[in-house]
Amino acid sequence: MLMINNMMFGAVIMASFTISLFFLKFWKNTRDRFFLYFAISFLLDGICRITLAATANANDYDPVVYTIRLISFLVIIYAIFEKNNARSKRK
């Protein structure tokens, strides 16, 4: 069971970093900060997952893990807010 759990952690970490690279590619092509913020958010998610996998007794309520996830979600909220606010200023 432990081996499957570690394999899943590895798959999720790899997926987070891969998604982050895709958003960086979109940001490079468009220079839209929305994509940059999402790339940062998924990078933070990957770091959070590494922290969970590397620590023996870590859980979702660990303050370090919780803080990293909180920052990640706040970046997403800020990206959405900024994108919507920019559209309303153009009208």
The string of pLDDT tens digits covering residues 38-91 is 999 999 999 998 988 888 777 777 888 889 999 999 999 999 999 998 766 665
Contact assessment for residue 33 and residue 82, using Cβ atoms and an 8 Å cutoff? yes
- pLDDT of the residue at 59: 76
How do residues 5-32 score in pLDDT, each as one tens digit?
Answer: 778 889 999 999 999 999 999 999 999 9
Locate the domains of the chain by residue range: 2-90
Contact assessment for residue 43 and residue 49, using Cβ atoms and an 8 Å cutoff? no
SS3 91: coil
- Residues 76 and 72: their CA atoms lie apart, in Å, by 7
- pLDDT of the residue at 91: 59
Instruction: Name the pTM for this structure.
Output: 0.84
- pLDDT of the residue at 47: 93
pLDDT at 35 over 90: yes
- pLDDT of the residue at 2: 58
Q: Taking the CA of residue 57 as centre, how many other CA atoms within 13 Å lie in the half-sphere pointing to its CB?
A: 1
